Amino acid sequence: MKQLIECVPNFSEGRDMNIIRQITERIESVEGVKLLNVDPGKATNRTVVTFVGEPAAVIEAAYRAIEKAAELIDMSKHKGEHPRMGATDVCPLIPIANITMEETVVFAKQLAERVGNKLNIPAYLYESAQSNPARKNLSVIRAGEYEGFFTKIKQAEWKPDFGPAEFPAGSGATVIGARDFLIAYNANLNTTSVRRANSVAFDVRENGRKVKNEKGEEIVQPGACKSVKAIGWFIDEYGIAQVSMNLTNISITPLHIAFDECVKSAYNRGMRVTGSELVGLVPLKALTDAGKYFLEKQKRASGVSEKELIRIAIKSMGLDELSPFKPEERVIEYLLKDKSEDKLVSMTLSDFADETASESPAPGGGSISAYVATLGVSLGTMVANLSSHKKGWDDRWEEFSVWSEKGQALKRTLLSLVDEDTRAFNKIMTAFGLPKGTDAEKKARTAEIQAATKNAIEVPLKVMRVAYETMDLIKVMTEIGNPNSVTDAGVGALCVRSAVLGAYLNVQINATGLKDEAYLSATLAEAKQISEAAIRAEEEIMAIVKSKIV
């Protein structure tokens, strides 16, 4: 499995798109790197770039970008709202997949050493890449900023980790490190006062503010949100003050909690949060969790689609106040997704029907069974959502919300199996197309055919398992759900029964090509058991439905 790291360099240029384009072109010149996002800010005069790839390729792309930024950006002429000390102000590496933080640190050090020694740019390590606790924090390293670094760099305690201990006026210095995923997030205020924005920032950020106790001693009064750094600033481009935050651990303080704490503080100080702004990319979970949070505050079921959860998050936090917020361009999972993996489920209903009816053997019965099961559980989930909003049932919304969330999870799994079944069929066809001219080739071909055949059994078997699991939800909805929708739940049960039996046919036909008798015996026994259980469940559900409509 590929190791993936993300790199999020911040360049001290946010106004000249020609310069920004030349820097990003250097990133894209490296094979194996995917440029995900370029987010320039005019007021901050700073651009946040996000790209991802395997470690060696990412390090090469980062080096080329830092080199180009030093060539094009003259820090002696730079002005902007954001703290800065160099053309490439900061360059963090973030472990994304199949790589540890310790391994990522090694690559960060390699990049910093190369930048310091080959480009003669003073390079400082930070966060996990820095072994000296006094130099781990970016704000501590950057204190004094560009103007103060000509003197600071000559102090023994601020000698760079790599490169010269002389501060180059053109490029400035850079900070390179390894850290966990960070969300840069700004809350918009209905004020132009930086002092008042800072008061909200001090209320919210973990480090809080300095106050005097009853003895007159200066102490730190912590803020409301752990793992949050924040300052207030004025953005001339928008004509408002903002609370600028870095959320360094969203499992501790999620996006929606940081937003609500800003809302609370601003209100207590006579202000309003009018919206907010995400800088760069955001994990999908941050938005779906926010959507659920705001629905639950309204005592509404949170078992709605992923798309709807994101829409609720955007509207609740005003993420589209300053500019359009397009999830397909801002959610990291969407940008990393291979679109070929969900070719079928991305089609319109009519296109999917046309593709099924064509002379192509795929999608076939397995994919159709998975989709029919998806429709079945979707109907059960619909009943749960309708029931949670039924007048007079307000005290039961949480119960139905739990069921609707379960339904959404099962729906997502079944949707993924629509394309997975077709991919399984294609793997068999690929295996049969392998060369068979020599004994070695014949042996390899046979092994590939057997492996592909086993996979083609496992996929419809999974459809059977997941589809049958949806019967619990559907049955409960016929029993306690909105009685006006009982027939919808009944149709859902009919769909699921058909899906289970359809997938069972696929298991059986594919089993004829497998030689592993022990595996076949256990698998066919399980498939038969599920099919019989699905028939019984459908009969029980339909009996309940009929009892309620007579």
- Which H, E and C letters describe 63-117, residue by residue? HHHHHHHHHHCCHHHCCCCCCCCECEEEEEEEEEECCCHHHHHHHHHHHHHHHHH
Q: What is the DSSP letter of 485?
A: G
Read off φ and ψ for residue 362, nearest 5 degrees: -130, 140
Contact 10, 90 (CB under 8 A): yes
* Dihedral (Cα; 41, 234, 283, 127), 10-degree rounding: 90
Contact 73, 67 (CB under 8 A): no
Handedness of CA 321, 322, 326, 330 (dihedral sign): negative
How many residues can be counted in the chain? 550
Q: In angstroms, how far is CA 60 from the centroid of its own chain?
A: 25
Query: Which pLDDT score, from 0 to 100, does residue 339 have?
Result: 73
Contact 275, 321 (CB under 8 A): yes
Give all domains of the chain, ordered by start, each with its CATH number. Answer: 4-178 (3.30.990.10), 183-336 (3.30.70.670), 339-549 (1.20.120.680)
Burial class (CB in 10 A: 0-12, 13-18, 19+), 332: buried
Query: Which pLDDT score, from 0 to 100, does residue 1 have?
Result: 65
Name the amino acid, one letter, at 126: Y
Distance CA 56, CA 329 (A): 25
Q: pLDDT class for 182, splitting at 50, 70, 90?
A: confident
Distance CA 20, CA 47 (A): 8
Give the residue from 34, 38, 36 showing the smallest Cα distance to 53: 34
- The pLDDT of residue 190 is above 80: yes
Percent of the chain scored above 90 by pLDDT?
A: 85
Strands 218-221, 88-97: pairing kind: unpaired
Catalytic site residue from 39, 82, 89, 488: 82
The token duo for 461 is 């078997």
| 429-449 mean pLDDT | 93
Strand partners, 221: 209
Give the residue from 397, 542, 378 showing the smallest Cα distance to 470: 378
Whether cis (ω within 30° of 0) applies to the bond prior to 363 is yes
Query: Which pLDDT score, from 0 to 100, does residue 332 have?
Result: 86
Q: What is the DSSP letter of 305?
A: -
What are the b/e assignments for 23-53, b being 16+ CB within 10 Å? Answer: bbebbeebeebbbbbbbbbebbbbbbbbbbb
**Cβ count within 10 A of residue 73:** 24
Query: Which pLDDT score, from 0 to 100, does residue 214 have?
Result: 86
- Report the number of secondary-structure helices (H) and strands (E) in the chain: 17, 13
- The pLDDT of residue 169 is above 90: yes
Query: Which pLDDT score, from 0 to 100, does residue 143 have?
Result: 93
- The pLDDT of residue 341 is above 90: no
The token duo for 185 is 């997030």
Q: pLDDT class for 355, splitting at 50, 70, 90?
A: very high
Residue with tokens 């935050």: 245
Q: What is the DSSP letter of 157?
A: G
pLDDT digits (tens, 9 = 90+) for 368-395: 999 999 999 999 999 999 999 888 888 8
| 166-191 mean pLDDT | 94
Stretch (H or E) spanning 219: strand 218-221
Stretch (H or E) spanning 212: strand 209-212
Handedness of CA 435, 436, 438, 440 (dihedral sign): positive
The token duo for 480 is 């306690």
Catalytic site residue from 39, 203, 419, 421: 421
Q: What is the DSSP letter of 481?
A: S
Contact 243, 200 (CB under 8 A): yes
Stretch (H or E) spanning 241: strand 240-247
Contact 12, 46 (CB under 8 A): yes
**Cβ count within 10 A of residue 99:** 19
Active site residue 421: yes
- The pLDDT of residue 199 is above 90: yes
Query: Which pLDDT score, from 0 to 100, does residue 527 have?
Result: 97
| 130-153 mean pLDDT | 93
Query: Which pLDDT score, from 0 to 100, does residue 391 have?
Result: 85
Q: pLDDT class for 98, splitting at 50, 70, 90?
A: confident
Contact 22, 29 (CB under 8 A): no
pLDDT digits (tens, 9 = 90+) for 220-265: 899 999 999 999 999 988 999 999 999 988 889 999 999 999 999 9
- For helices 397-432 and 439-480, angle between their N-to-C axes, nearest 10 degrees: 160
pLDDT digits (tens, 9 = 90+) for 443-495: 999 999 999 999 999 999 999 999 999 999 999 999 999 999 999 999 999 99
